[in-house]
A and B are shown apart, each in its own frame.
Chain A
């Protein structure tokens, strides 16, 4: 499975966000899109996920792909407990036990029966991470995955994502240099028009540290 974005263009109310943008993604590993706010990183993820359509151009290789999307906002169901939010994306068989296990993995077993509004921002983020990982997509889209997490939680979540998604393609959008450096095999600097490879596996990693 490899994904290719060809001559993609997208604008909102006349303002171009993507302008004839092309990119080839590998079949495995973590690709990081790094760039300033509002440059269109989330738009790319939404287009890959099929939630938004391009004005022109194509995205090839995402057809019939099971995609786990960790949105920038947690997007938890406010009327469901943490446990039920994870259960919602799991197949019915053993969903409760599986959801409980995922909560344990993100360190929230005690918060299983709490509603999103009863959780802190960091806890809600961990539930969202658990849900995205539990869904088990072939492709994982991570939009600012570690926002609102304290340093310790961030390290544990990075480790968990690496461990549970081995051999899968992950596209990471972040402002967090540490997370980008730690998780990514390839880092692209992105400003909507031009992409520049700033880093790749085992090379110039000190550039970001």
Chain B
């Protein structure tokens, strides 16, 4: 019975999603017809055709794979460092005093400033990784810190009383408490990593990169290519976000951090 209700919910969500996408494609088509200038707005069909052409070239796949690896590398490093910094700031006063100003600066500094500075400091292929790290790190840090701080004190007392020990308390109380905050940060972080990473690729006009292709489209006023490459970035960002959420959820269920089911109040 529950599985039927679930299937119905998934189907309904799928149809609502399809209707929503169709609506916005119609709006796009209308904008294309209203503007009437292909250099400003291209039609969805032309973008689809161009994508079809691009997909047949090996350089497209190389571009996608290399960009994806750069951004994923930055994203994962951001997760690792952001989580580590969050733990440090929550368990150590010295760590907190040292790291808070740095993270404050990271949050406030415009991404473009970082990217231009990074272009001076390092090889252009490293800049997208660096930009993604700097964008993801404060998001992870803020969310994981919040998760640690908001861990239910009464459960921690219970863990102390029943002698869970440090490892047991982390595994049985802290990790499941922090998991929703971590997941939310990863979801936001993934989108932001793509934005920052591609912006860095644009500014460094890196060969075999999505940002580089977007930059070249702009230089030669190839609006169809610009739209097509942007669509690829959006698609990759959404797909990777979904894949990451599935992985986090599977890990959560595997290690008993949550049931994987919605909690229905009795």
CA distance A89 to B162 in the complex (A): 6
Q: Which of B161, B256, B263 contacts A49 (CB 8 A)?
A: B161
If the complex has contacts A67-B161, A75-B155, A80-B256, are A120 and B263 also in contact, measured as CB distance less than 8 A?
no
Interface of chain A, main secondary structure: loop
If the complex has contacts A75-B154, A118-B266, are A51 and B160 also in contact, measured as CB distance less than 8 A?
yes
1/0 per residue A104-130: CB within 8 Å of B?
000000000001011111010000000
CA distance A131 to B162 in the complex (A): 10
Q: Which of B257, B264, B265, B266 contacts A79 (CB 8 A)?
A: B257
Inter-chain contact A78/B158, CB cutoff 8 Å = no
If the complex has contacts A77-B172, A79-B258, A80-B256, are A118 and B158 also in contact, measured as CB distance less than 8 A?
no
Residue total for B at the interface (Cβ-Cβ under 8 A): 22
Set of chain B residues within 8 Å of A3, measured between Cβ atoms: none
Set of chain A residues within 8 Å of B264, measured between Cβ atoms: 117-118
Set of chain B residues within 8 Å of A79, measured between Cβ atoms: 176, 256-259
Q: Which of A67, A71, A77, A117 contacts B173 (CB 8 A)?
A: A77
Residue total for A at the interface (Cβ-Cβ under 8 A): 25
Residue of B nearest to A123 (CB): B266
A190 sits at the interface (CB 8 A): no
A12, chain B: closest CB distance, angstroms: 15
Q: Which of B158, B161, B172, B266 contacts A120 (CB 8 A)?
A: B266
CA distance A71 to B160 in the complex (A): 13
CA distance A35 to B264 in the complex (A): 36
29 A-B contact pairs sorted by A residue (CB < 8 Å): A51-B160, A51-B161, A67-B161, A69-B158, A71-B154, A73-B154, A75-B155, A75-B157, A75-B158, A77-B155, A77-B172, A77-B176, A79-B176, A79-B257, A79-B258, A80-B256, A88-B164, A88-B168, A89-B162, A115-B259, A115-B263, A117-B263, A117-B264, A118-B263, A118-B266, A119-B266, A121-B266, A123-B266, A131-B162
Chain A residues proximal to chain B, CB less than 8 Å: 49, 51, 66-67, 69, 71, 73, 75, 77-81, 84, 88-89, 115, 117-121, 123, 131, 135
